[in-house]
Amino acid sequence: MEEDHCTVERRDASLTYSQFIDQYAFSRPVIIQGITDNSEFQALCTRNKLLAEFGDRLVRLSTANTYSYHKVDMPFQEYVEHLLEPQDLASLGSDTLYFFGDNNFTEWGSLFQKYMPPPFRIPGTSGAYSFGIAGSGSGVPFHWHGPGYSEVIFGRKRWFLYPPEKTPEFHPNKTTLAWLLDTYPFLPPEERPVECTIHPGEVLYFPRGWWHATLNLDTSVFISTFLG
């Protein structure tokens, strides 16, 4: 599960809004470094702080397959203590429970208020947060939706992306880790995805309709801002 050779352009905080709109918003992904300072939010997202504040709260887990139809509710502490483990290679996506999204904004609102989202918006959209915590080797297989940002608070997250017109070769019930081991090594160069690994302090932007799959390289805390 080593880091990839990154093929997504990285830009620093000197990127302007007009450059973002002209060069990336509707055409290609970009990683923006240092555009926000979420050190205060990060300090609230340690294991001990989250368990103290939210341990007894119910969280809704989704299966880690393309359509994530199945949902399970359990106390956050139980998820952290029993399910926050490295991905089992033998498990299908439908057997793997994953905490991402389905957040209760009333209960988690005090935490989200401390998050500083990326400042660039697509005209006519507003942002909605999805917060998650997952073990190493976990992730979501290929799917697509509207535009958005992804930020890692702790850990590293590897991304695989394809433009809308290029549907990737994948099984919707296989995990990203299984795809990486079984399919990725045999892809000819022209079928390889655009890919990168993001670290704390970086934000990945992806346009509408881009296929993407994710793989957490460590136990990771992460948040996405979906623009809808």
The pLDDT score that the predictor gives to residue 76 is 93
Pick from 102, 58, 55, 103: nearest CA to 81? 55
The pLDDT score that the predictor gives to residue 99 is 87
Where is 39: in which H helix or E strand?
helix 39-43
- pTM of this prediction? 0.93
Where is 41: in which H helix or E strand?
helix 39-43
The pLDDT score that the predictor gives to residue 62 is 86
The pLDDT score that the predictor gives to residue 103 is 74
Contact predicate 147/206, CB 8 Å: yes
The pLDDT score that the predictor gives to residue 65 is 77
What are the pLDDT tens digits along the chain (228 aa)?
666 689 999 999 999 999 999 999 999 999 999 999 999 999 999 999 999 999 999 998 888 877 766 889 999 999 999 889 888 887 887 778 888 887 777 788 899 999 999 999 999 999 999 999 999 999 989 999 999 999 999 999 999 999 999 999 999 888 999 999 999 999 999 999 999 999 999 999 999 999 999 999 999 999 999 999
Single-letter residue type at 32: I
The pLDDT score that the predictor gives to residue 2 is 66
The pLDDT score that the predictor gives to residue 4 is 67
Strand partners, 11: 32
Pick from 190, 129, 138, 139: nearest CA to 162? 190
| Sheet containing strand 148-154, strands side by side | 10-11, 30-33, 202-206, 148-154, 220-227, 127-134, 97-100, 58-63, 71-75
